[in-house]
Amino acid sequence: MMSVIFHEKSKVFHLTNSYVSYIIRIMENGQLENLYYGKAVHDSENFDRLHEEGWRSQAAVCMPDPSELSMHYTRQEYPVYGTGDFKSPACTIRQENGSRIVDFKYVSHEISDGKPVLEGLPATYVESDGEAQTLSVRLHDSLMNTDLYLYYTLYRDYPVITRHAQFVHAGDDSIFLERAMSAGVEFLDMKYDLLQLSGAWGRERYPKRRRLEMGLQGIQGLAGTTAGAEQNPFVALLRPDATEDFGEVYGFSLVYSGNFLANVEVSTFDMTRLSIGINPENFAWKLEKGQSFTTPEVVMVYSDSGLGGMSRTYHRLYRSRLIRGIWRDKARPILLNNWEGTYFDFNEEIILKMAREAKEVGVELFVLDDGWFGKRDDDRRGLGDWFCNLDKIPSGIDGLSRKVEEIGLKFGLWVELEMINEDSDLYRAHPDWLIQAPGRNRCQTRHQYVLDYSRKEVVDHIYGMMYELLRKSKISYIKWDMNRYMTEPFSAALPADRQGEMMHRYILGVYSLYERLTSEFPEILFESCASGGARFDPGMLYYAPQTWCSDDSDANERLKIQYGTSVVYPISSIGAHVSAVPNHQVMRKTPLHTRASVAYFGTFGYELVLGKLSDFELSQVRQQIDFMKRHRELIQIDGDFYRISSPFEHNETGWMTVSQDRKSALALYAQTLNKVNASWVRFKLKGLDPDTKYRVRYEIVEEPRDFFIYGMGPTEGKVETREFLAYGDELMNIGIVVDRIDFFKLGGDFAAFLYEIDAI
């Protein structure tokens, strides 16, 4: 069941499917009121009983007769400030006379099958008839002669409603959008916790949960070029008793890669207003007659089965109706990246040697990282010069890529297309192309600056260089990095009254370059990156189906980073690699078995020099690659992901992925620190069929050891395979027995068990 219903007599819209209901009413003043958002309810001809009003002290009554309608106490769909509502608005529009008072009244609506395309912006989509229905409501401000369109798309098979807004200006006088949020939702009470994903470089997307209180709370991104490692463009409201598996959760994920605001305001009457969209700070968009502005899309997910239910909805939707192209439904190649193995210190001979070693163990894709272009021997020079450094690579990228393919591998390349060094041919030719404010000091990060992608000629120039490079070479993968935030945001190409558009225009420029390159070279797998995971957002997934999750590749740290990332993002989008030890970020040593077991739950690859590994380690790498090839369809294409034990709350981390037919699964149980004389352990699984008997296999990998421990003598390294049979109900309700002695065999601290589970 899926329908968008309009009741003419009661002027009520009801968007409903088998999972969720969203009910809107046209009020007496022509504005829209939100009556209900939550679990699906039966339709009714009249929902007027859900509207509440009455006289309150200090209420500014906008409709005194026959009732006393006050906007401050009404749950509005797209509220404005200045006409009786004293809370944060969804839009603010400055007019020629300086007034910011607006009055958008209902004019008409349209209910249509399918989903509109957002021109120039990433968004979820549909592929066939009957997948979704869209309600568009037209409101009009007669004094400005401006239309406001509110769009709602209801998916048939998901508890999902997407929203965005569009302003179309027909007035003779110009107007300035100073605040244009994508959506606002109001709730009757404040009994919610706020969940966000926060962090910094090397510890991105840690879940943070706190109780709502009266007043303002929320998160924002002001980095300009990304959503930032500090805050992800996502928030959720959870009932206080909601857990991973039970309770009500409302998720709000913004499909955008620039400055954003997620604002939650609780009134002194316990009402909660949530709005999300482009951050109004440093934003002002000028609209002249005949011009329009479209906000980014927000994807709203309702779950009555806890945070896990919300996450699996986002995973399925983003995996199948946000990510596009031939790589959407394909398992990702296993790669070796040279960065942590060589950094800038390499030549063609070294790279080809690494490629041959990679081929011998079963790697499918070799990626050449930073240092191949311009005069790039360190991070002080070369950015912007996207042509090969022939001193390092005499064959050029075209020649090297063909040599790597002759070895039997695909070839990939690192780029940082939005950046420029002063020591570059591009800067010497176009010093005005970087973002800078006239007469002001220029901040730099890593000796680099940001190119002004709000200018079409800049985007065109970079596209031209990349087009020639990709056209002439055998390139199968591009890692698109972005290593600094935006400072001194000013464009030399924009007039003074349009400088407030610059940061959004920049993001539109990035999207346009992605669109051109991915359309011209659809067979190339693009991976987005930004100092690791500082640009992990839905907008990027629309163009690049995977994102480098974090520069912190330590397996123990990745348990937290990947756990938090999975709150919104599908496992297939998480770039995860096995790196060398001691780890380059934290100097920690973790077992090779653990490093691979964590990295399996992502796109999987290696970031080390294989030639430096022992024979036992190389044998393990071969087995790991074979394991991933056998299971990557389950992990990246077919599986549903379940979080079991949080590394933020426990010494142990547990998660698993289960095929949609529940016939196969992989489960990870990992500990941080080993314990002395500890209690017994039961690892309880999720998502299996209780009536199916499964075969459970796992390995105990003992790395080489030259000492005795608990009666276990020295070993050159060995692998012991175990298996047992059990029904799904036993595995979920009683759990797997985890033997404490095996923790010692697996290395003690940072040991991990990986379970293969297959129906008999």
User: How high is the pLDDT of residue 228?
Assistant: 75
User: How high is the pLDDT of residue 65?
Assistant: 60
User: Is the CB of residue 538 less than 8 Å from the CB of residue 122?
Assistant: yes
User: How high is the pLDDT of residue 39?
Assistant: 97
User: Is the CB of residue 165 less than 8 Å from the CB of residue 146?
Assistant: no
- The alpha carbon of 199 is separated from its chain's Cα centroid by a whole number of angstroms, namely 14
Half-sphere exposure of residue 719: CA atoms within 13 angstroms, side-chain side: 14
The pLDDT > 90 percentage for the chain reads 89
User: Is the CB of residue 61 less than 8 Å from the CB of residue 83?
Assistant: no
Amino acid in position 427: Y
Give the pLDDT confidence of 413-466 residue by residue, as tens digits.
999 999 999 999 999 999 999 999 999 999 988 899 999 999 999 999 999 999
Token readout for 126 is 């549909």
Burial class (CB in 10 A: 0-12, 13-18, 19+), 735: middle
User: How high is the pLDDT of residue 190?
Assistant: 97
User: How high is the pLDDT of residue 52?
Assistant: 79
State yes or no: pLDDT of 62 exceeds 80: no
Give the pLDDT confidence of 506-528 residue by residue, as tens digits.
999 999 999 999 999 999 999 99
b/e per residue, 225-237, with b = 16+ CB within 10 A?
Answer: bbbbbbbbbbbbb
Average pLDDT over residues 684-692: 98
pLDDT, averaged across the chain: 95
For residues 505 and 508, what is the distance between their CA atoms, to the nearest angstrom? Answer: 5
State yes or no: pLDDT of 64 exceeds 70: no
**Which single residue is written with the structure tokens 């006088």?**
173
Q: Which residue has the higher pLDDT, 655 or 69?
A: 655
The DSSP secondary structure of 222-235, one letter per residue, reads --SSSSTTTEEEEE
Give the neighbor-by-neighbor strand order of the sheet with 605-607: 574-575, 546-548, 525-528, 477-480, 410-415, 365-368, 335-337, 605-607, 577-579
Least confident of 120-124, 221-225, 286-290, 606-610: 221-225
For residues 436 and 441, what is the distance between their CA atoms, to the nearest angstrom? Answer: 8
State yes or no: pLDDT of 60 exceeds 70: no
User: Is the CB of residue 670 less than 8 Å from the CB of residue 653?
Assistant: yes
Which segments of 258-371 are extended strands (E)?
Answer: 260-266, 272-278, 285-287, 292-294, 297-303, 335-337, 365-368
Average pLDDT over residues 630-656: 97
Give the pLDDT confidence of 175-195 residue by residue, as tens digits.
999 999 999 999 999 999 999
Q: What is the pTM of this model?
A: 0.97
Q: Is 277 left (phi over 0), alpha (psi -120 to 50) or beta?
A: left
In sequence order, which residues have a C-beta less than 8 Å from that of residue 464 and are 6 or more positions away? none
For residues 213 and 217, what is the distance between their CA atoms, to the nearest angstrom? Answer: 8
Least confident of 53-67, 413-427, 671-685: 53-67
Token readout for 383 is 């950015």
Q: Which residues are catalytic?
A: 481, 551
Band (pLDDT 50/70/90 cuts) for residue 677 is confident
For residues 422 and 425, what is the distance between their CA atoms, to the nearest angstrom? Answer: 8
For residues 38 and 302, what is the distance between their CA atoms, to the nearest angstrom? Answer: 7
Give the pLDDT confidence of 392-410 residue by residue, as tens digits.
999 999 999 999 999 999 9
User: How high is the pLDDT of residue 83?
Assistant: 83
Amino acid in position 259: N
For residues 126 and 108, what is the distance between their CA atoms, to the nearest angstrom? Answer: 25
DSSP state of 60: -
Full set of structural domains in the chain with CATH: 2-312 (2.70.98.60), 335-638 (3.20.20.70), 652-759 (2.60.40.1180)
User: How high is the pLDDT of residue 172?
Assistant: 97
State yes or no: pLDDT of 647 exceeds 90: yes
Band (pLDDT 50/70/90 cuts) for residue 227 is confident
Q: Is 748 left (phi over 0), alpha (psi -120 to 50) or beta?
A: left
For residues 112 and 104, what is the distance between their CA atoms, to the nearest angstrom? Answer: 22
Angle (CA) 19-233-325 rounded to 5° is 75
Residue 217: count other Cβ atoms within 10 Å of its Cβ: 17
Least confident of 56-65, 130-139, 354-363, 550-559: 56-65
- The alpha carbon of 511 is separated from its chain's Cα centroid by a whole number of angstroms, namely 15
b/e per residue, 89-108, with b = 16+ CB within 10 A?
Answer: bbbbbbbeeeebebbbbbee
Q: Residue 186 pairs with which residues in a beta bridge?
A: 273
DSSP state of 417: T
Average pLDDT over residues 58-79: 73
End-to-end CA distance of the chain: 35
**Which single residue is written with the structure tokens 């440093």?**
282
Give the neighbor-by-neighbor strand order of the sheet with 32-39: 2-7, 12-17, 20-26, 32-39
Secondary structure element (H or E) that encloses residue 17, with its range: strand 12-17
